[in-house]
Structure 1
């Protein structure tokens, strides 16, 4: 039962990063790709119908962690308290900037909102990456199952490397989304930046193999000792090739799908490499929290298992419907704009 919930949690975190990742990437690139107020309007309108809903998966993932692995939840959020508060403030700032941007028709106000939106989006992508880097590296868990990391301990060299990698990957994902959904100069600029950022992601993907093996040798051992788990890094590598090839051919829908699968491959590789640990300790410490040790009681997990599939099915139906309508509306809007465009000459 704990293994099943470990898989459910990994799947939900993956869905969150794939869905919210592109609008974080759009936000991080907001000032770079949107040169005029109209282009920035277009970028925010592109993610407007979905960004708030995407964040539901973050809340749901936290809820599943609390329900299924309460010991890991208590240890992680107490030990990374500063990071948690920072994430909350960044989410609030980002949401306010998006919602209030159109409330005043004032260039200074819009510029301030654009800056807050862009910086908070980039910071969130970086902080999430740093958090994942610290999980892979392991935390200084004591025999009581708790730990505390100060700011400079959280910002260790490996965590920062993963943070930068996460930022580049999500920027590539966001640029791919704008290349698909944008128009005119905004789309053209996104189509120039998406391949650059994707190649940057590929380079960092290769470079990080060595540091990851250095900080957590057991992660690579877990993958090689169970060959079926190698399907996840192979998925990431294959998706990266598909993304680069599709971008070169101008097939932006396929490129965006490849980018989403690349992110999914990365996160599932991490989960497969860390299992059975939900919250690993440093390599030299024996106190890591495994799925079995951190799990709630069997009856609680079994009861939740009755309701979780129903909730996920309803969420899946809603998100599939919402995204189908979202992209269909976008296609109709683009076609109407092309029809209304006066002929040249």
Structure 2
């Protein structure tokens, strides 16, 4: 039962990164692919119907974490309090940049909120990557399962390191480069004209950033946490996940060159899903490794709720997923095709 809920939370977090990831990518590219007001409205209208709904996945994942692994929820939310507050403010900044831009028809007003949208999206992508880096590296858990990390101590990887060190910064750059390509593929798929051309061009260059940062992160993770490969040597079928990521990466190169935008977007989605699944598989059964003493690590077994509660929760989770997939299916079907500007849009 614990393994099922571990997979559920990993799936929901992957859905968040894939779906809200292209919104963040559009924000990162906002000032580069859109050079005038109509083009910037085009970018905003490409994500306008879905961006706030996509954020539901992170809220649902947090709620599921609270239900299924309450000790992990309590430990991580208290230990990561500072970065969580930063992420919350960045989400607010991004949302305000999207929603307030069109309220006053003034160039300075629009420029300010365009910059806010781009800045919030860029920093969120970096922080999401750094957050994953903290989980891979480990945190200074004590015997009671609690910890606190400052934003940084030094930039060396050590048992009492802060949120940011050289490894988590590399992971932040992985997040930034990956979501940049993901957003470029989405904008190329949803727009035409100059915005589409610029998105394709940036995506074709940025994918090299994905390769370089991913290789650097892979080598660094092997050095910092070599035991992450143990599950792969013991369970051959786990190699399916990194193969998914590799196929997605190849697809991004191949389909971007051929201007097959939908396939390029699906490839970047596959890459994100494959890499996140690979990380989860390598860490299992740990959900929050300890950098101080391995015996203090939080696992799916020592943080899970009761078996009865986990069993009852499956019913409600299935109902919730049916509603969620029905909603997202309807939204994406209703707003399929290229973006068309209208006076009532962003």
Bin of the TM-score, shorter chain as denominator length? over 0.9
Task: Kindly report which structure 2 residues correspond to 1:115-126, keeping only aligned pairs within 5 A, or say none.
Answer: 115-126=115-126
- Give the match for residue 33 of structure 1: 33
- Give the match for residue 241 of structure 1: 250
Superposed CA offset, 1:290-341 (max 9, x none): 101100111111111111111111111111121111114x37x59x9xxxxx
- Give the match for residue 302 of structure 1: 311
Kindly state the Cα deviation for residue 39 of structure 1 after the two structures are TM-superposed.
0.9
- Give the match for residue 343 of structure 1: none
- Give the match for residue 6 of structure 2: 6
Task: Kindly report which structure 2 residues correspond to 1:49-88, keeping only aligned pairs within 5 A, or say none.
Answer: 49-88=49-88
Kindly state the Cα deviation for residue 283 of structure 1 after the two structures are TM-superposed.
7.1
Superposed CA offset, 1:241-300 (max 9, x none): 112111111111111100100000011011101111111112743211110110011111
> Is 1:317 the equivalent of 2:311?
no
> Is 1:22 the equivalent of 2:22?
yes
Greater alpha carbon shift after TM alignment, 43-52 vs 201-210? 201-210
> Is 1:259 the equivalent of 2:274?
no
> Is 1:268 the equivalent of 2:288?
no
Task: Kindly report which structure 2 residues correspond to 1:1-345, keeping only aligned pairs within 5 A, or say none.
Answer: 1-152=1-152, 153-282=162-291, 284-328=293-337, 330=338, 333=340
Superposed CA offset, 1:142-169 (max 9, x none): 1000011001010111111000110110
- Secondary structure of the residue aligned to 2:103 is coil
Superposed CA offset, 1:146-196 (max 9, x none): 011001010111111000110110010001111111121111110101111
Provide the C-alpha distance between the structure 2 equivalents of 1:84 and 1:206, rounded to a whole number of angstroms.
Answer: 28
Which consecutive residues of structure 1, in runs of 5 or more, have no partner in the other structure?
337-345
Higher-helix-fraction structure: 1
TM-score by length of 2: 0.94
Q: Runs in 1 of length 4+ with deviation above 4 angstroms?
A: none
- Secondary structure of the residue aligned to 1:88 is helix
- Secondary structure of the residue aligned to 1:102 is helix
Q: How many residues align?
A: 333
